[in-house]
Every structure is written in C-alpha cells, then in structure tokens.
Structure 1
C-alpha cells in the first residue's frame, strides 16, 4: 500500500479551487506523456497530441486495441483466457507475471478486461483505506461482497487489516455464519446485497456493528440507502468504481465527488436541462492499460452547490445509471429525458408502500413490476405516472403493470432500464 497516497487521501486538504485542479492535471499529464505513453505501442506516436484530439475510446474500441494499448506486452486472447478460467474455477489467484487480470461483464453484457500492476494495486488500496479505514491505529476486518475476487482487492489486506471475500455467486444463506464470525468493522457490497443484508440484520439473522458500510458496483437508490443506514446505524458511503477505476467516492460530509485527484474527467452533456452527462476519462495513474479520451455510458447528474467539506472536485448529485437506460418520453416540444430520480420519487410517494419494483421500457411500451403491492397500487401508480408526464409536458407511454419481479437479465440489478433489440455484428 502506498503510504504517501494513503496519508494524502486521509489527511490532505485536497483541492480548494478549480485552478488548483487544472494545474495538477497539467503537471500530471506532462509526466504521463513523457514517461508512460511512449511505452504503449498504440499511444507512442500520440505523446504530443492534445487530450481532446486523441482517438475516442469506448469499451468496445479499448478491447479491440487491447494488445497494442497496454504497456505490459499482454496479449488480449491470453488475458481473456486467464480471466475466463478464473471465473469458471472461482480461483482468482492466477496472474500474468505480477499483473492481475480481471473480467468485467458490465451492465451492457459486453465483456471487458482490466489490468492492475503491483503499483496500481497499492495506489487503489491506499485511496480506499485512506478514505474509509475507520481507525488507522486499530486492526480492522473487511467483508467484501463481489461477483469476482482479484489481487487488486486483496491488496487491502495487511497485518492490521483482515480481508475476506464473499462470492455473490454462492447461496446467500451460506454467507451468514461466516459473516457473523468475522464481525466486520467494514462492510463493502453492491447496493442490492446491502439491502438483503440489512433485511437479515433487521430480522435477527445476523447482528453486525460495522463502523463503515460502503456501497459499490450498483447505483445506490435513496430507499436502499435508508434501509441500510437504519439497519447498521451508520452512514452509508458510496464508491463509484467501474472497470475504469475509482471515478468518485463520498467525502466526510457524505457527498459524492469525482476523483479528480487521480484522473481528469470531462463532461459529454446529454441533457442540458439537468446537466446530465456521460464522463470522458483521462487517467494519469493507470500505466498498464491506458485510459485516455475514454467515454463511459454512465449518466451522472452534477450538483453545482459547494460542498461543506471544501473540496473543489466536482460534486455529483446522483448516478442515474447507463445512458442506454435513460427514459426519453415524447412531447409537444420533442423528447425529454425522464430521470431515474423522477421515477423513484413517483413510486416512493405512492399512498400504498411498495417493497420493490422494476421499470422496463421496450419499444416505447412501459412495464412496471411491483413486489408485494396492495390491490389499489395499480390505480395509484397509473394516476401518479400520468401526473408525472403532465408535469414534464410529455406523453406517458403505453403502460402495463404486473405483480412480482421479472428475471434479471444480467448480474447488476437495475430497477429502471430500457431493453433494446440486440445489435447484430457483421
């Protein structure tokens, strides 16, 4: 673990002005151009090219050029072979040399690879420990729920920190005795698993007293945050991490900020009214698999208000989800984006409480699935969604309401999504 990065994350004052952030980025990229880009066969000739003029990258193009982009001389097919074998065997210890290889299925279902050198693993661990380690002077116990383990995550382990991985592909009930025996001081899990663990806590199946609870991998809805906060009696922190690295995490005040100390994140605005944007990443800490001019299809909503913590790093009001899952409803003035927050709020404010739900739009038809709904919920929901459409001056799509929850199409649960016909490649 990088002691300097840990202390900087934990005790540093951070950047108080945008000018300080810009100066930091200029210095960081000057070094990156000089020391890192020439080592990448793909980027060697781009070392003097402005960031905005570099080839636009997405997961698809990054994977297509993986072998030439990475600086470790790792062949894409070899990396896929190692990652897939680990997924199938559930043994995530194999590496290529000292470089860990991970597989990302992503919410789109498109496979991706990520690499992490020892230096990168230490930096990741330092950022997470510096921000979320409850007490540096006392031993800690971390319970980490995730679909796949990786040497990157195990870098958190050290003589003062016991790290245990809980495989989300294992039956839930098998986790509870081991989790109770561990009695974690830090609990890390996707939002959907945090909710299930909170229910188990409230029902007396487990009795945990974590000092930190951290949501990862999925969008954390306000209702899931409240359930977990009540069950574990502590603030629920959030780490917005993708295959592309740690993009944002909550500050001491509980607000989400972009990780502009370690990467430059520009905005591709998709909805001028709300400022909703897709992030474009230029990472000056990732030296194994370079991420430059890389566009994610996640939709983020900025919060222009200054944060009480004093950080000038961009504050994020919420993560809407994938751009492909944004709801766009037609109206007299053209199509408008209907935010996930508007959908969640509409359902949360129904007179009859809803245990859980899914909102699925397909071919301009809206299907809403309700779990444990009262008989009157359907009428209430139709009235509420009609009122929402009227307030936004759009037309409500054809609406079907069903009982229960549908089968999940992928690992990452998304309460609100758009289903599109799969694209056929030539």
Structure 2
C-alpha cells in the first residue's frame, strides 16, 4: 500500500470529478466499517450507523473517551505518561510497543494525544515523500522544525533521505550552524520559522519549502519565496490528520483521498465553514464525525491541476477568533484577510503586527512602524466598515507586539472582554 500511495502522490492526477470522490469514499468506508470499527470498544456497536449520526466529536470528547475509542488497547493515562515524559526529556523515541504517541497543545490550549502505528507511519511518509521529494535521482537532506519530534516524522528517514529534527524549544542561534552543516534540500517548518530563516539568511539553498502547523499568510509566502527563490508548499495537518496539501499548481486541496469532509457553514456569504472530518485511514485512533474549530474558505473555481478535490482559498483561523461586527442586517463576519489587507495597505513600513478584539475594542499592535500610524489606521478601519456595511469597534493602537498566548502565531485574535 505504501508503494502505491507513493506512486499515486507523485504521479497521480487526483480525482476527475465529484462522482469519483463519492465512489472512493463509499468503498473506503465500507472497508473501514468492516475492518476497523469492530476493533474499537467505543465504535464496535456503531459500525453500521451513518457517519453523520455517529457521536459528534471534539478534541475534549475524543480525549474523554480515548481509552475506549483507540483500537490498540492503550489507556489514556498510559499514553499521556509516555507523551509527558518525552516532552520533559526531549527524547521522543519511547513508544508503547510499536505505537508512537504524540502530544499536541493546539492553538486553543486544549491538550490532545495522537497515536500512529507502523502502517500509518509508512502511509504518511509515502504520501509526503511522493508529493514533495525534489528528485528521485539524488539523496535528499530534510530539516524538520517542530515543537516535538515523533516516530511519525522520523519515518521520512530512509537510505535516500537524511532526516534531522530541529527542536523549536532550542535557542534560535543554536540551529543556524547545524542547518548550514546539513545544507538541506527540503525544509519543513511552521510559517513563522520559515520567515525567521528568510530574515536570518543562512547559507542554504533548499529545493522545497513546506509550511506546516500554522496558517501561511500571503505576505509571509511572498517574503519567503523572495528570500529563497523557490515557492512555498503547504501541508495543513493537525492532530486529527493531514487535512489538505498544495498541488503542483500551488492550490491547497482537501485531502479527500484519505478522509471525507462535511461543511458546517458559518458564513453563507463566503461559504466559510468548519470542517467535520471522517477519516478512513486512521486505524489506531478513529477520527469520525469530528468537528474542527478551524474556519476554511472554499474556492469553487476548478484547479488547473485537474483534481476535483475541494480547493481552499484560505484558512481564516480558529472559529473563536472570527471577528463579528454589528451591521444593519445583523452581525457581519469580518474576514481575517480583510484585516491583513487593511494593514498591508497602510502608507507606512512595519516589521509585524497583531489585531486583538476584546468586546467592542479592537487593539492593533504595530511593530516597527515608521511615521504616524494612528490617522491612516483610523481612516482605513472606517473605510473597511463602510465596505462591509458594518460598524467597526473602538480602536486602540499600541507599539511593539503583545505577549503570544501559545506557540502558534496568530495575527488576528479574539479574547474575552
């Protein structure tokens, strides 16, 4: 299966149309109901229940029922103990038998565990290598930046791939000499780290740059591409699995070869939705009828690559961080992209920025602003309100950057008043 997954990811053209996707899902879930669900004490008696009628899952509910849902007979406290010891020691090699355990804090601060079996790790590596391996004719060197290592990621290492993990909790300067010594052909890192590398200017010339774990904003993509001279690919992966990847044409597509995604639409005007995931490749910890609080904006236009899997125009962020401003027709969703565009169009230079809404107050932090920022920012905010037919909140302007509440950078956030 790993070889066929590798070949499909590298040379396949994806699904031709929606009917082919539906047929693929029907076959995959029929097998999943037969082979996997009976092995889960939680799902054993639900194997014939329609997907939408299965218990609705969130990260909290998944963790509450972890011991019963997983098919490996692993208790929650047992898995958490392994994960926490790995986090403390920074030694991520211990497993429970052949099952790897990972810990995710998530942007919401809700702690989550994930599992991966040898089969799942092999499938993941086959897809990643098939899609992003620069050249089969040459040995590759992969630099992987992440908060925590895992056997899942180390599965990328093989005789033709030299894999090195760069711990994001290590001081930044300690990475640069190691990175230059490795001279990676592939760099996999959160968008923030890729941006730091672009600014630091290490003497490396990667052939592939892959952004993971954070939303890749257009301005960051442009800066990183300009610094390294290669486009930035994107993998939208969460604790719940690989949800989307960029295609050869540069579009972000839902990974409908692995999972089925229903849409819980929160803004009919844009089609913005929270995904409800049914994964038919996750056997160790089944992910079924699982609602994420990420907000995705679809792109209905056909992709030049020819794949019919749904295109994602952008990932707005978390549902809790959506800005809703009052308008004549009720509350109006203000896309994070509108705030980014407003900041980008200000007639002044910036190093960075943040926008935080607390009740009816919008705090905007401008780092390194040159010149008077308050008047053009107030004018831009009023213009945005007119264009969206809504009333902006009160503006408070700050210099510098606020403290980050978690490890993942979020330029637009909503906090309690």
- TM tier, smaller: over 0.9
Cα deviation, residue 362, structure 1: 1.2
Cα deviation, residue 379, structure 1: 1.4
Question: Which residue pairs with 1:298 in the alignment?
Answer: 294
Question: Which residue pairs with 2:411 in the alignment?
Answer: 415
Q: Distance in 1 between matches of 2:381 and 2:74?
A: 51
Q: Alpha carbon RMSD of aligned pairs, Å?
A: 0.9
In structure 2, which of residues 278, 283, 287 is the aligned counterpart of residue 287 of structure 1? 283
1:243 maps to 2:242 = no
Question: Which residue pairs with 1:102 in the alignment?
Answer: 102
Q: What pairs with 1:264-283 in structure 2 (closer than 5 Å)? A: 264-283=260-279
TM-score for both structures, normalised by structure 1:
0.97
In structure 2, which of residues 401, 405, 413 is the aligned counterpart of residue 405 of structure 1? 401
Mapped contact 2:348–2:371 kept (Cα < 8 A): no
Name the SS for the 1:335 alignment partner: strand
Question: Which residue pairs with 2:23 in the alignment?
Answer: 23
Cα deviation, residue 12, structure 1: 1.5
Question: Which residue pairs with 1:91 in the alignment?
Answer: 91
Cα deviation, residue 364, structure 1: 2.4
Once the two structures are superposed, what CA deviation does each residue of 1:2-29 show, in whole Å capped at 9, x if it has no partner?
A: 2111011111222010000000000000
Once the two structures are superposed, what CA deviation does each residue of 1:43-98 show, in whole Å capped at 9, x if it has no partner?
A: 00001100010000000110010000000000001111110111111110111000
Cα deviation, residue 377, structure 1: 1.5
Once the two structures are superposed, what CA deviation does each residue of 1:156-211 show, in whole Å capped at 9, x if it has no partner?
A: 0000000000010011000000000100000111011111100011xxxx121111
Mapped contact 2:15–2:21 kept (Cα < 8 A): yes
Question: Which residue pairs with 1:395 in the alignment?
Answer: 391
1:331 maps to 2:327 = yes
Question: Which residue pairs with 1:370 in the alignment?
Answer: 366
Q: Distance in 1 between matches of 2:37 and 2:324?
A: 40
Once the two structures are superposed, what CA deviation does each residue of 1:386-423 show, in whole Å capped at 9, x if it has no partner?
A: 100111011110110000001101011101111137xx
Q: Distance in 2 between matches of 1:247 and 1:323?
A: 17
Once the two structures are superposed, what CA deviation does each residue of 1:310-334 show, in whole Å capped at 9, x if it has no partner?
A: 0000000000010010011111211
> After TM superposition, where is structure 1 displaced by more than 6 Å over at least 4 residues in a row?
none
Q: Distance in 1 between matches of 2:149 and 2:416?
A: 31
Question: Which residue pairs with 1:174 in the alignment?
Answer: 174
Unpaired runs of at least 5, structure 1? 422-426
Q: How many residues align?
A: 417
Mapped contact 2:13–2:305 kept (Cα < 8 A): no
Question: Which residue pairs with 1:424 in the alignment?
Answer: none
Q: Distance in 1 between matches of 2:37 and 2:50?
A: 13
Name the SS for the 2:144 alignment partner: strand
In structure 1, which of residues 237, 255, 261 is the aligned counterpart of residue 257 of structure 2? 261
Name the SS for the 1:74 alignment partner: coil
Cα deviation, residue 376, structure 1: 1.3
Q: What pairs with 1:25-424 in structure 2 (closer than 5 Å)? A: 25-201=25-201, 206-420=202-416
